[in-house]
Homo-oligomer: A and B are copies of this chain.
């Protein structure tokens, strides 16, 4: 489905952010992920659990049910499931039919996120989750404010499209972080790895953005580096740094300040997405400074990104599900990134077909 080719939605054998750690408690929570209902809760020892969120008996949502000990008990007729998805009890009978069980999704808590694996559990390799060190969450260089969450009424690839093309900063975010300069006149340098893609925008000798200027009480020309690195399929790590202009010798000027922004994008249903965000800054050890920055962007930048996503989703729906488009130079990351998503999904579909082939051969 747009902007991917017809029939392609999302890869399943991947880690996605399911929730902020702090969102999941002893009260189960319902969250749709990859068009499936998931029930999230914590066991008595605090360990988080992700189970199929639909009772196989009558379809009642387990995310609207209750936790008893380490089990989840359906809020309708009381059928109870262990945290591994097996059935613990059926009130009216001692026998447990084989079909009476829930999918249990591998779930890993890392930093402040819960990462879920919606595909084949046998393939769930924790080492594929972007590590908190790799993400710059542990280097002490930035103080992070976290916990941003919104359910966005738009398909997940539109949020990736948004992040792939930072020329939007100078326009969509003109009233706030875009004012005073942006990435709008540059084409980024793209790099890719097996499961990541990064884009870097370099601007020399431009006006300091009003946003930085105000925060750091500095005026005049600066060099600016902005970039994003997406760890497929879910997490964008973004940075924005301001330097004094480089000298004639080409050596970089002094760094005036640095921002880090984290955007988690998880498909909820086919036309809605979970959006997780955090933001950090380098210039103050005071968490209140980060929180102020977070609050400011939650009210402005992130709202604008979601507005654009939802406007385009609405346009797609009104146009009957399709949207013609033209590509420009600034879309280099977008084009490359979409192809990576497409390859990732197709590889999974081919593997499924190969599996079935094997089964047929041996059958």
Q: Is the interface of A mostly helix, strand, loop or mixed?
A: loop
Q: Is residue A269 contacting chain B, with contact meaning CB distance below 8 A?
A: yes
| Interface mask (A322-362 → B, CB under 8 Å = 1, otherwise 0) | 01111111100000000000000000000000000000000
Q: Is residue A90 contacting chain B, with contact meaning CB distance below 8 A?
A: yes
- Using known A-B contacts A60-B311, A161-B58, determine if residue A328 contacts B185 with beta carbons closer than 8 Å: no
Q: Are B185 and A76 in contact (CB under 8 A)?
A: no
Q: Are A168 and B97 in contact (CB under 8 A)?
A: no
Residues of B within 8 A of A99 (CB): 326
Q: Is residue A315 contacting chain B, with contact meaning CB distance below 8 A?
A: yes
Q: Please give the count of copies of this chain that the complex contains.
A: 3
Give bound CA distance, A308 to B323, whole Å. 35
**Residues of A147-163 contacting chain B, CB below 8 A:** 161
A156: min CB distance to chain B, Å: 15
Residues of B within 8 A of A90 (CB): 328-330
Q: Are A79 and B328 in contact (CB under 8 A)?
A: yes
| Interface mask (A63-97 → B, CB under 8 Å = 1, otherwise 0) | 01000000001111111000000000011110001
Q: Are A61 and B97 in contact (CB under 8 A)?
A: no
Q: Are A93 and B328 in contact (CB under 8 A)?
A: yes
Q: Are A92 and B170 in contact (CB under 8 A)?
A: no
Q: Are B316 and A167 in contact (CB under 8 A)?
A: no
Residues of B within 8 A of A312 (CB): 58-60
Q: Are A308 and B54 in contact (CB under 8 A)?
A: no
Give bound CA distance, A105 to B222, whole Å. 44
Q: Are A184 and B315 in contact (CB under 8 A)?
A: no
Give bound CA distance, A136 to B307, whole Å. 45
Q: Is residue A187 contacting chain B, with contact meaning CB distance below 8 A?
A: yes
Q: Is residue A293 contacting chain B, with contact meaning CB distance below 8 A?
A: no
State which of B92, B170, B311, B328 has its C-beta within 8 Å of the C-beta of A328.
Answer: B92
Residues of B within 8 A of A93 (CB): 187, 328-330
Q: Are B329 and A92 in contact (CB under 8 A)?
A: yes
- Using known A-B contacts A73-B171, A78-B171, A269-B318, determine if residue A91 contacts B184 with beta carbons closer than 8 Å: yes
- Using known A-B contacts A77-B167, A171-B78, determine if residue A311 contacts B61 with beta carbons closer than 8 Å: yes
Residues of B within 8 A of A56 (CB): 324-326
Residues of B within 8 A of A223 (CB): none
Q: Are B323 and A59 in contact (CB under 8 A)?
A: yes
Q: Are A185 and B92 in contact (CB under 8 A)?
A: yes
Q: Are A167 and B315 in contact (CB under 8 A)?
A: no
- Using known A-B contacts A92-B329, A187-B93, determine if residue A61 contacts B315 with beta carbons closer than 8 Å: yes
Q: Is residue A190 contacting chain B, with contact meaning CB distance below 8 A?
A: no
Give bound CA distance, A283 to B187, whole Å. 67
Residues of B within 8 A of A97 (CB): 326, 328
Q: Are B170 and A78 in contact (CB under 8 A)?
A: yes
A179: min CB distance to chain B, Å: 13
Give bound CA distance, A93 to B316, whole Å. 26
Residues of B within 8 A of A137 (CB): none
State which of B92, B171, B186 has its C-beta within 8 Å of the C-beta of A75.
Answer: B171
Identify 23 residue pairs between A and B in the complex whose beta-carbon atoms are under 8 Å apart, listed by A's number: A56-B324, A57-B327, A59-B312, A59-B323, A60-B312, A60-B315, A64-B311, A75-B172, A76-B308, A77-B168, A77-B330, A78-B168, A90-B328, A90-B329, A90-B330, A91-B167, A91-B171, A92-B328, A93-B328, A93-B329, A93-B330, A99-B326, A100-B326
Given contacts A90-B329, A92-B184, A100-B328, could you give 4 more A-B pairs where the C-beta distance is less than 8 Å?
A37-B318, A75-B171, A75-B308, A97-B328
